[in-house]
Structure 1
């Protein structure tokens, strides 16, 4: 009886199907592909956070702002700072790439850019949540505002983190 042939070297094989999974690419090719994916993702988030921050920056110059309670002004200041931090984190990968380009460290640059992007998304989550809290507090002083904001925050957490993590753990091999 013959022994089973050895699996081909290169991309990993599935646990039972013998089908090759993954890509046949060098570390540099993988870094290039991951960088392009990351830049496409950042474009979406960057645009949204920049538009939101732009609108928020104009609020202080409206006549209605001066009549806000101190609590609402504090929420506004926190929101502006969070939006500014989110903008910095989401634009950071572009500056990182520009500064390290040509230094043959793209795989490491992609890792750091990915971390900055994730941080930017967390800060964007906080910015959106505090913006919603501010707008709903000003629009209505009803007791359900914190509950509504908590519900929207829960929705963001489900869409942005829980679902992707569930899919990742459910469909990722233990290899």
Structure 2
């Protein structure tokens, strides 16, 4: 039995279901971003982009593709391993993979904003807004959970 009074297999099933439900939110965001990025490459404006902008675009696409792979991996693992009693391993490794996927997604969104701002406003504004967006993701997704972890429930 666990702290909540549920059998271990039920806790694992609940935790895995929670993980997969959380992934649906992240996957939707990464899929929309990926679709947007794929469309950009076929525009006239992109053909006229500088080498720096095209390089930034390529790095952004690679981070988005990596985020997609990392954020969909636990669902694929569950589908392939759900009858083999591998929930503990799926959860243990899946949690790490999802965090890595969220890091890649945060970087991809930050770089997407940087690319858009670079094209519209130039390099200085790009650097400022990319730092702001990246900082916002860092604080909200990674710093705040550590702060909240240290506080006792009321």
Kindly report which structure 2 residues correspond to 1:6-155, keeping only aligned pairs within 5 A, or say none: 22-141=3-122, 143-155=124-136
Q: SS state of the match for residue 108, structure 1?
A: helix
Name the one with the larger helix percent: 2
**Normalising by structure 2, what TM-score?**
0.93
> Secondary structure of 1:23's partner?
coil
| Count of aligned pairs between the two proteins | 153
Q: Which has the higher contact order (CA 8 A, sep 6+)?
A: 2
Work out whether residues 27 and 107 of structure 1, in 8 Å CA contact, stay in contact via their aligned partners in 2.
no
State how far apart, in whole Å, the 1-side matches of 2:87 and 2:57 are.
Answer: 38
Q: Deviations over 1:22-69 (max 9, x none)?
A: 401222111111111111110000000011001101111111111000
Unpaired segments ≥5 residues, structure 1: 1-9, 12-21
Distance in structure 1 (CA, Å) of the matches to 2:78 and 2:86: 10
Question: In the alignment, which residue of structure 2 is the partner of 1:7?
Answer: none
RMSD: 1.5
CA distance in 2 between counterparts of 1:145 and 1:63 reads 21
Q: Specify the alignment match of 1:3 in structure 2.
A: none
Aligned-residue offset at 1:142: 5.4
Which is higher, the Rg of structure 1 or of structure 2? 1
